[in-house]
Each structure stands twice: as structure tokens, then as C-alpha cells.
């Protein structure tokens, strides 16, 4: 088995994303890894038809942040770190993944932790909560 130290779960709150969330939670529990939940809000787009339907980006961001905070991680031993970003979802997901990877490389490995057969498990040190998305909401 390969050692898994961090699982990034980008969510858009769909049914498929919920299924992936449960799988990510189970893997996090089994490997003693850390789980990072990420939701990216794309820039608001006004819808035009008979009349303009303006979308309030602050309301959309606040609702998405609240929904992310309400996600309950199944399993007593699983702790989730939550990140929220605004921008292009694909770009932001890749940026956060790179930052998490760099964060993992900076931390020492604790031998003997986790279920890995090679004795490498959860890493200690600086947490991902210190990541700062480029654009964040002041919620």
C-alpha cells in the first residue's frame, strides 16, 4: 500500500461530490491522513432574459462558506480542514493542491505512524489552515 498523507477533496456539493467526500473520509480514517475540504466559488455571472437577474456575489459566497462549514465528516477519528476560495475552480484547485504538496514536503515524517507497511504515516508540523487563497471572503 502507498502511504497517503493528505487528501484534498474539492467539493461542489453535488451528489457525486458527496459520494467522493465519503470515500475521501474513509481513506483519511484508514491512513491516518489529513483531509482538506475545498470549495471554490466561481465569479458571479449575471443572467439576462426578459430582464437582468443580478446575482449578489457576497450572498453566494456566504452561503457556500456556510455549506462548507456544515459538512459533517463521517468517522470519529477524522478531522477536516476547510478552505474556501473564489476564482476559476480548476485553477484554484490546482493551486491549492500545489501548496498542500509543498506544505507536506516541508514537514518531517514521523516513522511508525499510520497503517503504511513502510512505516510512514501522518506528518507533523505546519497545518494547511495557514494556506491563503488569493481571493477570500471576509465572512
Q: Which residues, 6 or more positions from 86, have their beta carbon under 8 angstroms from its beta carbon? A: 40, 41, 42, 43, 61, 92, 133, 135, 136, 137
Q: What is the pLDDT of residue 125?
A: 31
Q: What is the pLDDT of residue 135?
A: 44
Q: What is the pLDDT of residue 57?
A: 78
In this structure, which topology does domain 1-56+73-94+107-139 adopt according to CATH? Answer: Rossmann fold (3.40.50)
Q: Residues 109-133: pLDDT tens digits?
A: 444 343 333 222 333 333 333 344 4
Q: What is the pLDDT of residue 52?
A: 58
Q: What is the pLDDT of residue 42?
A: 86
Is-above-0.85 flag for pTM? no
Q: Residues 17-54: pLDDT tens digits?
A: 999 999 999 999 998 899 999 999 987 766 666 665 66
Q: What is the pLDDT of residue 16?
A: 96
Determine the Cα–Cα distance for residues 50 and 47; give it in Å rounded to an integer.
Answer: 10
Q: What is the pLDDT of residue 66?
A: 94
Q: Residues 56-103: pLDDT tens digits?
A: 778 888 999 999 999 888 876 788 899 999 899 999 999 999 998 876
Amino acid at each position: 500500500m502507498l502511504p497517503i498523507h493528505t487528501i484534498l477533496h474539492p467539493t461542489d456539493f453535488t451528489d457525486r461530490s458527496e459520494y467522493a467526500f465519503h470515500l475521501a473520509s474513509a481513506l483519511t480514517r484508514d491512513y491516518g491522513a489529513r483531509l482538506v475540504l475545498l470549495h471554490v466559488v466561481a465569479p458571479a455571472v449575471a443572467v439576462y432574459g426578459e430582464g437582468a437577474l443580478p446575482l449578489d456575489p457576497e450572498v453566494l459566497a456566504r452561503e457556500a462558506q456556510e455549506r462548507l462549514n456544515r459538512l459533517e465528516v463521517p468517522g470519529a477519528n477524522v478531522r477536516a480542514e476547510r478552505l474556501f476560495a473564489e476564482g476559476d475552480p480548476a485553477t484554484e484547485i490546482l493551486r491549492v493542491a500545489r501548496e498542500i504538496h509543498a506544505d507536506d514536503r516541508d514537514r518531517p515524517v514521523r516513522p511508525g505512524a499510520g497503517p503504511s507497511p513502510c512505516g510512514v504515516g501522518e506528518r507533523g508540523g505546519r497545518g494547511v489552515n495557514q494556506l491563503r487563497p488569493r481571493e477570500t471572503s471576509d465572512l
